[in-house]
Structure 1
């Protein structure tokens, strides 16, 4: 059994044969958790498409994965532009096949305060943290209906569960993701479409380490998690693979928390 300090390259990934050949769409796939998702699904033999506004790291990732013989497609897109995003989704479906797995990963936990919040800023934060997920689901559902089923994986956050300060609109948007999951799961279940929320804990991405994780945060994590060690993007990707595959065929309308046992 691997110890608590196991690094990503030592992580033994499960293989889900049913995922091979499926078309997967991931939002925000260029860096962080999104990059781990792209790598994990491409390694399963999926036709892995992703969107992002960060073109430079996205193109480096594509170049690397294509060199490894994997099927990956990147389309630059601002997911807050609903019309453009849905157009890109239809283009991806036409190029690489019907999308039967959707991962609504893109978000921005930028810090903001109530005192300086404007109506325009509120709309911007909701657009990047919640609205795009609903309209991406709307765009892929016809593909999933024709295919006889599919999996939509929305990304929540433990932040609002912990009543974390510093990002009230982000917290509200992420909390609403759980309600969206429940509503869509009921509506789409008769079509064999599963909808779940994957809830990451405090994941040690490059952004988190650069901006917010100092010694005091490390101490807090060590005291708060039941499990020792870091929650890594690869841990989130492993849960996503399970939720995308037929291994989770009777899982819907649920929250799957990967946080080392915190909340």
Structure 2
């Protein structure tokens, strides 16, 4: 079955890999990011491979920009069936050094951006036969981390929002899931990048496979929270 998907927060690593996975599975993909050049390159790559893709430069903290972005995707591909809320960020600072603006920026990107994108997507899903919304979390979604006050607070907020949405929207046929990425994600490093030593990393393609499993799950056995870590990590 052909689906229309939006990845909100397409970076050059995992975000791009998620978009490629969705395209490989036959989805038409809307690519949301502030960086226009990156998503345009990815759109070209996906289209060259035979997929339907659309780069949509979008500030997901701006309600009007989000509305316009979803309208462009609908005009190109039809109603949205899958939303990946992947955007996140925040200054890595503790309570004594973080500014009010840095704290608010982390919340706006993760929590507010996820809210605005979800509100747009669920209208399409409710009018159809349901859909899937997946939030990208992190170790900091479930454990506070020294020196990451803004990032951790925003990720905690996203997790709470996802759980609340899952309880509200599940009976309406919308699968809401939260993925805890508990570890370092392997990056496409330049040749002169420093060696990470013996740090075990999660492969982006393997993570993307798990996201797609959530999209394909039978309604009788939906997963809310999926945590992914390298086999060497302890719980």
| In 2, Cα distance between equivalents of 1:61 and 1:155 | 20
Report if the CA contact (8 A) 1:204-1:230 is conserved.
yes
Residue 260, structure 1, aligned to residue 234, structure 2 = no
With the length of structure 1 as denominator, give the TM-score of the two structures. Answer: 0.80
Report if the CA contact (8 A) 2:7-2:30 is conserved.
yes
Residue 71, structure 1, aligned to residue 52, structure 2 = yes
| In 2, Cα distance between equivalents of 1:163 and 1:145 | 35
With the length of structure 2 as denominator, give the TM-score of the two structures. Answer: 0.89
Gaps in structure 2 of 5+ consecutive residues: none
1:130-183 deviation per Cα after TM superposition (whole angstroms, max 9, x unaligned)? 211111111111100111211110111113435432211111111222211111
SS of residue in 1 equivalent to 2:175? strand
| In 2, Cα distance between equivalents of 1:238 and 1:145 | 26
Query: Relative contact order (C-alpha < 8 Å, sep 6+): which is higher?
Result: 1
1:41-69 deviation per Cα after TM superposition (whole angstroms, max 9, x unaligned)? 11111111111112222111111111111
Report if the CA contact (8 A) 1:50-1:74 is conserved.
yes
Residue number among 196, 202, 205 corresponding to 1:231 in the alignment? 202
Report if the CA contact (8 A) 1:109-1:170 is conserved.
yes
Match of 1:48 in 2: 29
Q: Given the superposition, is the C-alpha separation of residues 111 and 191 from structure 1 closer, same or farther in structure 2, using an over 3 Å criterion?
A: same
Match of 1:249 in 2: 219
Q: Given the superposition, is the C-alpha separation of residues 259 and 52 from structure 1 closer, same or farther in structure 2, using an over 3 Å criterion?
A: same
Residue 172, structure 1, aligned to residue 153, structure 2 = yes
Report if the CA contact (8 A) 1:156-1:178 is conserved.
yes
Q: Given the superposition, is the C-alpha separation of residues 172 and 162 from structure 1 closer, same or farther in structure 2, using an over 3 Å criterion?
A: same
| In 1, Cα distance between equivalents of 2:174 and 2:11 | 26
CA RMSD of aligned residues (A): 2.4
Report if the CA contact (8 A) 1:154-1:197 is conserved.
yes
Report if the CA contact (8 A) 1:24-1:49 is conserved.
yes
Match of 2:136 in 1: 155
Match of 2:211 in 1: 240
1:71-102 deviation per Cα after TM superposition (whole angstroms, max 9, x unaligned)? 11110111121221122113312321110100
Gaps in structure 1 of 5+ consecutive residues: 1-17, 222-228
Report if the CA contact (8 A) 1:235-1:258 is conserved.
no
| In 1, Cα distance between equivalents of 2:47 and 2:202 | 28
Residue 97, structure 1, aligned to residue 78, structure 2 = yes
